[in-house]
Amino acid sequence: MSHPHPELSGPPPLPAGALRVTPLGGLGEIGRNMTVFEFGGKLLIVDCGVLFPEEAQPGVDLILPDFSSIRDRLDDVVGVVLTHAHEDHIGGVPYLLKESGDIPLIGSKLTLALVEAKLAEHRIRPYSLQVAEGDVEQIGPFACRFVAVNHSIPDAMAVAITTPAGTVFHTGDFKMDQLPLDNRLTDLATIAELGKSGIDLLLSDSTNAEVPGFVTSEREITPVLDRVFGRAKGRIIVASFASHVHRVQQVCDVAAAHGRKVALVGRSMVRNMAVARDLGYLKVPAELIIDLKEIDDLPDDRVVLMCTGSQGEPMAALSRMANRDHQVRITGEDTVILASSLIPGNENAVNRVINGLTRWGATVVHKGNAMVHVSGHAAAGELLYFFNLAKPRNFMPVHGEWRHLRAAADLAIKTGVPRDRVVIAEDGVTVDLVEGVARITGKVEAGYVYVDGSSVGSVTEASLKDRRILGDEGFVSVFVAVSADTGSIVTGPVITARGFGLDDQTLEQAKPLIVDALATAAAEGIGDTHQLQQLVRRAVGRWVSNTTRRRPMILPVVVEV
């Protein structure tokens, strides 16, 4: 079993007839999925998603894959295959197309429709190629065969990519629900056929590799929702992913059975469900869906709100309701259902939302106390079944944190994949398939690229560290004007503190230390303002540390007059 080494250097030139696989996101994390395949000087990308920020990344809206390793080769990209329309697989597409707008997008009908709706907000009109399960498309030197897989969104597909180097099978996100709501099963027959023909390298979703058994069928949720609806006396608010068409369908079906109307809340929810209804993936009577403005005209026991915010996102509808920052005011009669899985890293944010809703008296139903959501990812039993069908010669787990990748690798070995043919990589690590053997050969840059408002890439780890210090410790600013001739103080020092907890009288104690430091500098002939600022920073820093045992950000400003 091979694994990356932190001292890996850049990969060597790709040998003739070999295939290179470079994940730029999705390994060691849940999200930001993007994999680049290279053969014969051409590149094929599978997925281009985003990762959502954690608490340690204040002010960040989204995290993108790092395009730097392919930025000079965008003309070589023959297409982007999109396995399905979840944000962690398509959210980065607008930012990629802003760098090169003529890259073709390849995906299923619903996937492309949701991507195109997203791109319209960025004023981008892509070239797209719609495919369906069973189709085979020659995209540059890559022969792509599309295979139906079941997931928590309709129209998901895996892709078998064949070149003279061999066949790589990329599952995308998948599970093996035998009773899916849309009756669209994972195509085990085609997977078995591919396995019999020979899969040289398998890249498989690993998210649930630690979970034993099989994932519960989506159909099992409907009776649970029915019971919750039956007990609810007031409004029902359901939070889910904005692209979870199946869950919205279930909520609409149960709402109709209980004589309730459904209002969609949240821009992405409204947009995505409009697309799904237009294409026939969401089937609801026209009179069932109402505008949010109409809910005040109905009794509370006739209303269902379907909204975003199941992950505790601060600006999403549910978080704003919990914070009393939304037109929907939570009351003690409301029932709130969090109908989604919990993405790792979002635990604190979700708990804050649950506590906020409970504070206002709402009854909160979530996966921890009722089966209102099932995962969209294959559990260990399904993966074992799948590996035995696929019979890969080499295996590379993708789409998961480190523990998930390792668990999936162990499952593959149990089904007969030789240990030395299992590759556990990380973002940026290049894996070359040469003469039927997959090996790690190097590493390219694959760091986080932060989106902050309209800024892409300008926020660095250093600036995030500054934000964390400001949030945790506050800041102290010092202004001093000194004479350009003598170095003596003309004005100040003026000390201001924010988020620090010291009053002005206490801050006065630091002024003599600043005066002494500048006087010593003047006596020694130090007149460079940068050096003087560092002297002030150190003097104030020592005083703050000794006085409060705190380490705020210190911002000294020294000017000459």
Which pLDDT tens digit goes with each residue over 535-560? 888 887 787 777 777 777 777 888 87
Task: Name the more confident of 81 and 502.
Answer: 81
pLDDT at 461: 63
Answer whether residue 23 shows pLDDT above 90: yes
366 assigned binding-site residue: no
Rounded distance between C-alpha atoms, residue 331 and residue 353, angstroms: 15
pLDDT at 494: 81
Rounded distance between C-alpha atoms, residue 194 and residue 317, angstroms: 44
Among 4-13, 79-88, 373-382, name the one with the lowest average pLDDT.
Answer: 4-13
Strand ranges of the sheet holding 553-560, from the earlier edge strand across to the other edge: 489-498, 475-482, 553-560
Among 56-70, 143-157, 208-222, 367-381, name the one with the lowest average pLDDT.
Answer: 56-70
Instruction: Reduce the DSSP state of residue 29 to 3 states and report it.
Output: strand
Environment class of 441 (CB within 10 Å of its CB; exposed 0-12, middle 13-18, buried 19+) = buried
Among 319-333, 334-348, 382-396, 446-460, name the one with the lowest average pLDDT.
Answer: 446-460
Tokens encoding 448? 């986080």
Answer whether residue 260 shows pLDDT above 80: yes
Task: Name the more confident of 347 and 119.
Answer: 119
For residues 426-438, average pLDDT:
95
Q: How does residue 530 score in pLDDT terms, banded at 50, 70 and 90?
A: confident
376 assigned binding-site residue: yes
Environment class of 295 (CB within 10 Å of its CB; exposed 0-12, middle 13-18, buried 19+) = buried
pLDDT at 335: 93
CB 527 within 8 A of CB 535: no
CB 191 within 8 A of CB 390: yes
Phi, psi for residue 23 in degrees, rounded to 5: -75, 125
pLDDT at 36: 98
pLDDT at 4: 56
Answer whether residue 357 shows pLDDT above 70: yes
Give the amino acid at 542: R
CB 81 within 8 A of CB 33: no
pLDDT at 542: 80
For residues 495-522, average pLDDT:
74
Q: Which residues contact 460 (CB under 8 A, 6 or more apart)?
A: 450
Provide the b/e sequence for 219-257 (b: ≥16 CB within 10 Å).
eebbebbeebbeebebbbbbbbbbbbbbbbbbbbbbbbe
Sign of the alpha-carbon torsion through 124, 125, 126, 128? positive
Instruction: Reduce the DSSP state of residue 364 to 3 states and report it.
Output: strand
515 assigned binding-site residue: no
Task: Name the more confident of 529 and 78.
Answer: 78
* Mean pLDDT value across the chain: 87
Q: What percent of the chain has pLDDT over 70?
A: 90
Residue with tokens 């003596």: 488
CB 246 within 8 A of CB 273: no
Q: How does residue 2 score in pLDDT terms, banded at 50, 70 and 90?
A: low
CB 71 within 8 A of CB 36: no
pLDDT at 121: 87
Task: Name the more confident of 381 and 375.
Answer: 381
Strand 489-498 to 105-107 pairing: unpaired
